Chains A and B, each alone.
Chain A
Amino acid sequence: MTDSKALYQEVILDHNRKPRNYGQLANASHRAEGHNPLCGDRISVGLDLDGERIGGIVFQGESCAICKASASMMTTNVKGKSRADAETLIREFRDMATGKLDPQSETHHLGRLTVFAGICDLPTRVKCAILPWHTLHAALNSVASTSTEAEDDPMHAPIGGA
């Protein structure tokens, strides 16, 4: 089992305390609400798509530290990126969180987001980390709301992983 204290690293605690890009986006072109019914975490993501480029992104919500830090770091990582690059990050983050991508040995674009690598050893918390990404994916694809329990959602990550 991973030392869960290692997960609660300073970078995650800092983003939890001072979340970046937190709030409402008045002129959001795309929005989605994400919900994890198992723990009650709720998060909303609003973004301003400037053609294929993510011009602005904000999030808001009530959630645990893992979810909030994941959302905060997500916004700083995808801001200014193309939609295709954001989708790549979404996929890589999900794969890392569910243990399908080993950031040590495989190539990826996750950068500092690898602080969440340890989450794959805490199956009950995987969804906390993934929820913001799940919600970003829904927003990019103009799906108004999503849930970690939506089986037909391509981001659905069963507890325990594959």
Chain B
Amino acid sequence: MSNVAPARTPGKFDVERIRADFPILGLRIDGKPLVYLDNAASSQMPQPVIDRLVRYQTSQHSNINRAVHYLSETATFEYAEARCKLARFINASEEREVIFTSGTTDAINLVMHGYGRKFIGAGDEIILTTLEHHSNIVPWQMLCEEKGAKIRVVPVNDAGELLVDEYEKLFNERTRFVGVMHVSNALGTVNPIRHMTAFAHARGVPVLIDGAQAAPHMQIDVQDLDCDFYAFSGHKVCGPTGIGVLYGKAALLEKMQPFKGGGDMILSVTFEKTVYNTIPHKFEAGTPPIAAAIGLGAAVDYLSALGMDNIAAHELELLDYATAQVNRMPGVRIIGTAEKKAAVLSFAVDGVHPHDVGTLLNQEGVAVRTGHHCAQPVMQRFNVPATSRASFAFYNTLAEVDALISGIRAVQKVFS
């Protein structure tokens, strides 16, 4: 769509022009320019996406799949268009394999209820990894508690890389499901999910990929990955909050039971018998977040126009530069040194708690995340209560990395 074309110099990734698309990046915090390095928590929204939300809300809004009037037809069409855009974004073979959810957490819960509760039983085993976000642990623990199934955990090495040999050894005749994150939110590790998926498939085990931290940073091709499920969130790919995607292979989605019951997910209802709708509608009960879905469609248009490969290249340049700078600083240690990483830099400053690091960096206008990153098993594995995490997006600059580095020096000075 022409109204979501980003500012761009052909052949060159022009960060300054891209930044002009993001009104929030012009903010000043305590008089200092905002240096937003908390993109793994949530990314910012460019003007074309904001404009798209305004256009929908001011001239296209009504409920979908219902009335015959103009606005309802328009909203229904635009919502379906958004689904097409998302299917293209991850190269799904069919639009009906894209289910709109409220986010990654909701998507994983959908798989747990829809697939897990139907096909996983007492004594069965689910393989997860040490790196998982709580959202890919807790739903499966709830299932295990209900069914008497068991979770097996793939360990990591000191660099934060999954031990693939150990993963392979965890398989046995009771293995029923694998859940693994594509990119670690806490450490940045890019996991070998294509290999892990192929290994599981050779044993007839389906695989769910938590792609929340991968979709913003690299081209996702679900057909190439051959994963059974792929989940990600809208607000981490420059879209609105309250919207996310579950990709699922059509054959699996059709076999699954619905997660939530209500309107839109049915073909017919009597008190004797309800016939469920076809996919994807079977999994979208009630009025969906229509505006958010359309906004997300505009967001992935924006990213695609920039080019995911260009985005990845720029972000890796930022990561490499930041890693080299931090490695030169005495008293600062990087947590997560995997060979393959996305734009996440978790670090510890000797003698300074991450919360103090975060508060003092904020004083310099630098926004980082501090805490356990909803990945307490990772913190336990690396024997830290929490870390400070800088996470980069395509609109960050090398100068912002410098601001982070001088901010860390200021922290060290206060605590010296």
B-contact bits for A101-138, CB 8 A (1 contact / 0 none):
00000000000000000000010110010000000000
| Alpha-carbon distance A42/B386, docked complex (angstroms) | 12
User: Could you say which residues of chain B place their CB within 8 Å of the CB of A42?
Assistant: 385
Q: B233 an interface residue at 8 Å Cβ cutoff?
A: no
Interface residues of A in 32-53 (CB under 8 A from B): 38-42
Task: Tell me the nearest residue of chain A to B361, going by C-beta.
Answer: A4
Interface residues of A in 1-59 (CB under 8 A from B): 1, 3-5, 7-8, 13, 16, 38-42
Q: B30 an interface residue at 8 Å Cβ cutoff?
A: yes
* Contacts A3-B363, A40-B385, A122-B359; A65 near B415 (Cβ below 8 A): yes
User: Could you say which residues of chain B place their CB within 8 Å of the CB of A155?
Assistant: none
Q: A62 an interface residue at 8 Å Cβ cutoff?
A: yes
Contact A125–B414 (Cβ < 8 Å): no
Q: Which of B116-124, B264-272, B348-356 contacts A (4 or more CB under 8 A)?
A: B348-356
| Alpha-carbon distance A53/B301, docked complex (angstroms) | 68
Interface residues of B in 377-393 (CB under 8 A from A): 379, 385-386
Contact B370–A65 (Cβ < 8 Å): no
Q: Which of A4, A40, A41 is within 8 Å of B359, CB to CB?
A: A4
| Alpha-carbon distance A65/B353, docked complex (angstroms) | 7
Q: A63 an interface residue at 8 Å Cβ cutoff?
A: yes
Contact A13–B415 (Cβ < 8 Å): yes
| Alpha-carbon distance A126/B45, docked complex (angstroms) | 30
User: Could you say which residues of chain A place their CB within 8 Å of the CB of B360?
Assistant: 4-5, 8
Q: B362 an interface residue at 8 Å Cβ cutoff?
A: yes
Interface residues of A in 54-78 (CB under 8 A from B): 62-66
Contact B385–A4 (Cβ < 8 Å): no
User: Could you say which residues of chain A place their CB within 8 Å of the CB of B359?
Assistant: 4, 7, 122, 124-125
User: Could you say which residues of chain B place their CB within 8 Å of the CB of A3?
Assistant: 30, 363
Q: B147 an interface residue at 8 Å Cβ cutoff?
A: no
| Alpha-carbon distance A124/B355, docked complex (angstroms) | 9
| Alpha-carbon distance A62/B354, docked complex (angstroms) | 12
Q: How far is the CB of B396 from chain A (nearest CB, A)?
A: 23
| Alpha-carbon distance A7/B359, docked complex (angstroms) | 10
* Contacts A13-B414, A13-B415, A40-B386; A64 near B379 (Cβ below 8 A): no
| Alpha-carbon distance A65/B362, docked complex (angstroms) | 16
From B359, B372, B379, name the one whose CB has the most chain A CB atoms within 10 angstroms: B359
Q: B371 an interface residue at 8 Å Cβ cutoff?
A: yes
Contact B355–A128 (Cβ < 8 Å): yes
Contact A62–B415 (Cβ < 8 Å): no
* Contacts A5-B363, A8-B356; A40 near B414 (Cβ below 8 A): no
| Alpha-carbon distance A41/B414, docked complex (angstroms) | 21
User: Could you say which residues of chain A place their CB within 8 Å of the CB of B376?
Assistant: 40
Q: How far is the CB of B363 from chain A (nearest CB, A)?
A: 5
| Alpha-carbon distance A5/B352, docked complex (angstroms) | 15
| Alpha-carbon distance A124/B369, docked complex (angstroms) | 12
Contact B371–A40 (Cβ < 8 Å): yes
| Alpha-carbon distance A38/B354, docked complex (angstroms) | 12
User: Could you say which residues of chain B place their CB within 8 Å of the CB of A16?
Assistant: 415
Task: Tell me the nearest residue of chain B to A40, going by C-beta.
Answer: B385
Contact B386–A39 (Cβ < 8 Å): yes
| Alpha-carbon distance A66/B354, docked complex (angstroms) | 11
Contact B353–A4 (Cβ < 8 Å): no
Q: Which of B371, B385, B414 is within 8 Å of A8, CB to CB?
A: B414
Contact B372–A40 (Cβ < 8 Å): yes
User: Interface residues, chain B, CB within 8 Å of chain A?
Assistant: 30, 352-356, 359-360, 362-363, 370-372, 376, 379, 385-386, 414-415
Considering the complex of A and B, which 6 residue pairs feature the smallest CB-CB distances, nearest first?
A: A64-B353, A64-B355, A40-B385, A65-B356, A4-B363, A40-B386
18 additional contacts, CB 8 Å, given A41-B355, A65-B415?
A: A1-B30, A4-B360, A4-B363, A5-B363, A8-B414, A13-B414, A13-B415, A38-B371, A39-B355, A39-B385, A40-B372, A63-B353, A64-B355, A65-B352, A65-B353, A66-B355, A66-B356, A128-B355
